[in-house]
Amino acid sequence: MPRIGYARVSTSSQDLDIQKAKLKEAGCEIIRAETGSGASRDNRAELATVLEFLRAGDELVVHRLDRLGRSTRDVLNLVHELDAKGAALRVLEPEVTTAGDMGRMLITVLGMVADMELKFIRDRQRAGIEAAKGTGVYKGRQKRVDDLKIRRLASHGIAKAQIARDLGVSRMTVYRALEARDTEADLETE
């Protein structure tokens, strides 16, 4: 049974070496690795390549289930696709395989845990940002284009959509800059 390993990290500052070593120990002949979010299967070319080349009797091996995906639906769809090809999924930590019915049930539970973990990460991130905003530490991303420049172009009669295209920003950015101008003008007249 050929074993194909898949490793993933979310950011380039993270290291793939531990996952690759565990996959090699597990007997993986081929290991594909990539950097990207596990929230969905979008933009994960290496995973798509692995899935394309898996055949009946092959086994897709991951270090932990959250490396494969953090969405229960994506993980279950993946298991279904593997079943349809006659291939199996093996998770090294904890040791689980979809080769049997009990393994499929455990994969479902682990997928749900990974999904919840992603929700908790997002909640903590949101709470951290709100706390930082409350103390004045978090200001958001630096503006790429000065509002004054947008206002100047608008005062010359250039359409909002054209301003957005010319400056490489969204139309919403243009509207916000012009709305801020209107708010400032209202405050000055009071």
Task: At 28, list the tokens.
Answer: 């993986």
Out of 10, 12, 40, 170, pick the active-site residue.
10
Closest CA to 23 of 77, 82, 68, 87: 68
For residues 10 and 35, is the Cβ–Cβ distance under 8 A? Answer: yes
10 is catalytic: yes
Is the dihedral angle over the CA atoms 31, 34, 36, 42 positive or is it negative? negative
* Distance in angstroms (rounded) separating the CA atoms of residues 101 and 79: 12
Element containing residue 6 per DSSP (H, E) = strand 3-9
Report the catalytic residues. 10
